[in-house]
Amino acid sequence: METKALVAGGGIGGSALFRFLAEEGYSPVMVNYGFGSSWRNIAGGRPAFSLPELTDIARHNLELFQALDKLGDIDFRPINYLTFAHDETMYKALEESMAWQKAKMVMPADFKKEISPYFNDQNKKYLAALKTDECWQATPGKVIESLRQLGINAGGTMLENTELVDVQKIDDKYIAIVCTDDGEYVEYHTPVFINALGDKGADFAEKLGIETGLFPVKHQAFITRRLPMLGINGAPLNMLIDRRHYKGFTAVYGQQLGDTGQVIGCASPAVEPLETDKDMKINSRDFSEIVSEVFIDWIPEISAVGFQSLWAGYYIEPKMVVDVEKGLFLGLRGQGFMLGMYLARLYVDELCGKKVPDYFHRLRLGEDALLEKAFR
């Protein structure tokens, strides 16, 4: 089969690439196998980064979410992120970031007024919290389905439950072999192949002689049973983030879904990344204990509320690699919801010869990758 473009991987990045390629007339084919981490993320986006370039990407990403919401229901709504400063180093990093984002510093005396009327008066762990505007919430599955449908409407072909088996490059043409839903093997020839395979991406890059240095890191998430709205004036609880290195984790964070009242959240393990898929304790008992402790320390009233579900997905570390020349769209580091759509827009723009911001080129393999360190 001949196609102008083939996208391997149907997460939020691959689905956005599929949409924008179709709208530019490439009539792309997208192959997707299984439900990856994009479907299981915790539904929040923010512009709060320690790098102004990442903040710029996130703001444009928000614009794309707002436009997508007008085309179909994705449960979009504006929210705030509140990042707690637990020490002077974090306080300074948060304070510096106010120079390039819309935010204000909230003192502990105002936590009940600015965060939740149920916030724990006895919690003395924080110096302040940065309240960031221009954040958003949307349902991940609806976002991905909307992107895919727009791609199909513009002439793209979506192949679900279809697995990439092999890829090679001969001269200027890629040859990709896929196994379809009915077990048939199909060989695609295309001048444009984009690897957006998430945790499998590095393996297929190696087949093309590309060493990315990327690896998957398992992260677990949770969702509670339904709750009354816990935010200010009966609104849902905004995203709360604690970035302490504590009991084997480096961050605990979560928010309340506007349509159901469920609290959904995550925690980042502070272990050697290559070991997180080997010790299952990191992704079960330790995880449930740390998120329970932190959230109850924030809002004691939810201590009796049970988990509805716990699940795991993968962050791709240690850097983003978005490289048009090499056909790579990998390593979003758990930030696909915040950055993925706009990065896909820039990728397709550069592919079409359009002007893109200079910082986009820093995401090429071998460049500095716009590494975020303070606000992971």
Q: What is the pLDDT of residue 111?
A: 98
Q: What is the pLDDT of residue 145?
A: 96
Burial of residue 360 (number of CB atoms within 10 Å: 0-12, 13-18, 19+): buried
Residue with tokens 């993320």: 41
Q: Could you tell me the residue ranges of all domains in the chain?
A: 6-41+141-214+318-363, 77-137+216-316
- Cα–Cα distance measured from residue 58 to residue 76, given in angstroms and rounded to the nearest whole number: 15
Q: What CATH code is assigned to 77-137+216-316?
A: 3.30.9.10
Burial of residue 320 (number of CB atoms within 10 Å: 0-12, 13-18, 19+): buried
**pLDDT single digits (tens) 120-171:** 999 999 999 999 999 999 999 999 999 999 999 999 999 999 999 999 999 9
Q: What is the pLDDT of residue 40?
A: 82
Domain 6-41+141-214+318-363, what fold?
FAD/NAD(P)-binding domain (3.50.50)
Q: Which residues of the chain have pLDDT under 70?
A: 271-283, 376
CA 92-337-140 angle, 5° bins: 135
Q: What is the pLDDT of residue 276?
A: 52
Q: What is the pLDDT of residue 273?
A: 55
